[in-house]
Structure 1
Amino acid sequence: MHIGSKGWYVEELKNIGVRRHEGRKIEKYKKHVLANLLEEKKN
């Protein structure tokens, strides 16, 4: 899996315990939303 791909963001979010966002599974979101969510959760 390439760093920065959608699957990479999903995996990173799951590693920190995020499986859902606003009641939807994170797999349903586009990559740019996942990138912002990951940045928000890391800080």
Structure 2
Amino acid sequence: MHVGSKGWYVEELKSLGVRTYEGRKIEKYKKHVLANLLEEKKN
């Protein structure tokens, strides 16, 4: 899996314990939303 791909963001978020966002599975979101969410969770 390439760093920065959608699958990579999903994997990173799941490793932090994030499975859903606003009541929807994180797999349903586009990459830029996942990138912002990951940035928010790391800080």
The TM-score range, normalised by the shorter chain, is over 0.9
Which residue number in structure 1 is paired with residue 6 of structure 2? 6
Query: Which secondary structure does the structure 2 equivalent of 1:4 belong to?
Result: coil
TM-score normalised by length of structure 1: 1.00
> Mind listing any 5+ residue stretches in structure 2 that lack a counterpart?
none
RMSD over aligned Cα atoms = 0.1
> Mind listing any 5+ residue stretches in structure 1 that lack a counterpart?
none
* Percent of matched pairs sharing the same residue: 88
* Whole-angstrom CA distance in 1 between matches of 2:5 and 2:16: 17
How many residues in Structure 1 have an aligned counterpart in Structure 2? 43
**AA of the residue aligned to 2:5:** S
The runs of at least 4 consecutive aligned structure 1 residues that moved more than 4 Å come to none
Which residue number in structure 2 is paired with residue 22 of structure 1? 22
**Cα deviation 1:1-43 (Å, max 9, x = unaligned):** 0000000000000000000000000000000000000000000
Which residue number in structure 2 is paired with residue 42 of structure 1? 42
